Chain A
Amino acid sequence: MSELTTILICMISAGTPIIYALTGDLIGQRAGIISLSVEGSMLCGACVGFMLASSTGSLLLAVLGAAAAGGAIGSMQAFLSISRKSNMMTTGFILIFFAQGLTTFFGRGQLGTSLGKSFSLAIPGLSKLPILGPVLFSQDILTYFSYLLPVAAWWALTRTRLGLLICSVGERPEVTEAYGYHPKRLQYGAVILAGVLAGIGGAHMSVIYAMSWANNMINGRGIIASSLVILCSWKPQRAYMAAYLFGLAQALQIFFQIHEVPVSMYVTLMMPYLFTLIALAVISTSKKPSMPEKLKIVT
């Protein structure tokens, strides 16, 4: 297998959980709520997803369970930051620690469990294409969905009534209300959806990518996803670029070491964060034209 293919496969696999969490949180942020708790949703999704996948052997059940677990954390974030008007950042962090505690406790039995099978699913024909075949089409069903997810989110947010309403809540909720809609209900929906999608991303991480459950296995990827929303300028179609940039940086961490590229190991290990920081610094100079109005009050 060529080195380029290896790098790209790792980039896609490491980027997929990020795409889910990123797209979810992006929709939430368009409705005016930042959910740092997507990290917690990913953890719960990873834990519950692995539990169901190893006990039932069904990927569908695992994804549904993960979505429900992620959504549960999302609904707590929604209740606290929409109905109780608590600070959304602090709430997010508290929920991350809450999820860490919960999953460490309930995931104990899963630490030694084996999945017993692989859920990868190569698309016949397409996966035989040179370079791009193994990279894009020898993956798994959740990755194939992730290719469509940002486009679907873009279409929903810009071309459907519901999507436009969600965006309007993030800009001028009083106007939405004057038109006879319920801003809070829309926000609830968006934030819970963020949790649901992050939960599915977590399930990808545990069931498909690492094929095992480990305590605190998300390790900050949810928080990164949440900050990458800014890098996307709140435009879902840019999620590919942001998530795969992070995935590429992660793949390069090890690639540079294997191929003895003369860069210090400590620099390669910080690359994903360095990439994100630089990208944020570059984007932030463009006066944030697309930032939802409601977030401007918070940040």
Chain B
Amino acid sequence: MKKRLLSLFLAAVLLLALAACNGDTNKTPDNSSDQPGNSGSQDTQGSAKPGAGAKKMGIILGGTKDDYGFNLNFVQLAEQAEAELGIEVVLKENVPMTSDCEGVMEELIAQGCTILFPSQFGYMEYSKNVADRHPEVAFFSFPITDYVGDNFSVIHGEVQDVWYLNGVLAAECSTTDKIGFIGSLPIPDVIVAIDAFALGAQSVKPDIKVTAVFTGSWSDVGLQTTSVNQLIDSGCDIIAPFQDSIKTIMEICRSRGVRCFGCNADAYELAPDTWLSACITDWSGYLPYLKQTIDGNYETVNISGGMELNLITQATYGDSVPTETIKKLDAVREQLINKEIAVFEGPIYAQDGSVMFEEGYRPTIEEINVIDSLVQGVDGSLN
């Protein structure tokens, strides 16, 4: 009898714990009942454009907003959209990149969201399915995909220009002329970032060394710690991560007295003295498209661009960055925007000395997106 009571008690405790976990992760309560006709109604088809008169926008995230990286970035989009467009934003966190995300999108549409913003590449296939079922809902994809058409648009920020600027900044700040780069996986975005970063650093100090290591995951805290410590011990005095969550790296850098970049979000407030800058999305380039959609003038777009389209920018500079350096960075930024210089302007040599781009040649974005080798001056291997 005693045991039965005890097991009942334990079951009750488990249930209570589960109930406690059922916190509301939505940014706003569900009040879709106030807005009939907004949820999945087919009568808007034909007469109105997708997303016309939208009152709610849904953002689908792969992680949580407290990662000081990729996902926090979208929270900043939510804040700006709410402030400037007066639209309600519903954030869905930790959505798996499986067919489950279709259900999440359907739920958002049922709640009245008529603009959806899938953030991860893993959602694309499923987003397209949902987009086909709901022609009245406007989709804006963040990653590049082939699914563009009808109510499915792509607006992608290109990272190379800002990573180049980060490289310039790193070279200006480094005294040991050794910089550590902590990559996640050797995928195109990361390789382009490392190359652009190294080229930027070399534009200031031609002999500077960039050491790249890969952790094989986006947020293994243990490996991040090991990487930072070993890079610092090998002489690096600046660390640049390409990871989803940079909090641990920032903490270790602070405790060891070296400076560090962020990744994907402005996390200046974490450690203003340790923080240098980061490559982040400039949402001001996205808002006009959202406004156009709300006004009922949705156009399918397939845009990929950088600072010239205000799609990407550099985050706040850290407190330790001198004013002259900021002036110099502003000048380089102007040159990049005016196309006076280009990040991958030839001659560019690969690690083994072979020519990647001929003298004077400026590769197109398609060619940049398929770069599969590290440039000369980078220590590290992709294999």
Contacts and interface: CB of A to CB of B under 8 A. Distances in A.
A254 B219 contact: no
Contacts of A219: 220-222
Nearest to B13: A76
A3 B213 CA distance: 16
Given A102-B17, A102-B21, A217 B234 contact: no
Contact of B222 (A9, A108, A221): A221
A1 interface: yes
A260 B381 contact: yes
A257 interface: yes
Interface stretch (B114-122, B162-170, B246-254, B292-300): B246-254
A210 interface: yes
B221 A210 contact: yes
A84 B214 CA distance: 45
A148 B216 CA distance: 34
B83 interface: no
A108 B248 contact: no
Interface string B3-27: 1001100100010011011010000
Contacts of A102: 17, 21
Contact of B186 (A217, A255, A265): A265
B221 A214 contact: yes
Interface stretch (A20-28, A112-120, A191-199, A285-293): A112-120
Contacts of A211: 248, 251-252, 255
Interface stretch (B34-42, B63-71, B283-291): B63-71
Interface string A88-124: 0000000000100110110010011011001000000
A111 B221 contact: no
Nearest to A7: B230
B85 interface: no
Nearest to B23: A105
Nearest to B229: A10
Contacts of B379: 258, 260
B227 interface: yes
B141 interface: no
B231 A258 contact: yes
Contacts of A10: 226, 229-230
Given A79-B10, A219-B222, A258 B270 contact: no
Contact of A108 (B3, B66, B380): B66
Given A217-B222, A258-B379, A114 B213 contact: no
Given A3-B234, A105-B20, A258-B379, 9 more contacts: A14-B222, A76-B10, A214-B219, A250-B223, A254-B230, A254-B231, A257-B214, A259-B234, A269-B215
Interface of A: 1, 3, 5-6, 9-10, 13-14, 76, 79, 83-84, 98, 101-102, 104-105, 108, 111-112, 114-115, 118, 205, 209-212, 214-215, 217, 219, 221, 250-251, 253-255, 257-260, 262, 264-266, 269
26 contacts: A1-B233, A3-B234, A6-B234, A76-B10, A83-B3, A101-B18, A111-B66, A112-B66, A112-B247, A205-B222, A209-B225, A210-B225, A210-B251, A211-B255, A212-B251, A214-B221, A215-B219, A251-B226, A254-B223, A254-B227, A257-B214, A258-B231, A258-B379, A260-B380, A262-B381, A265-B383
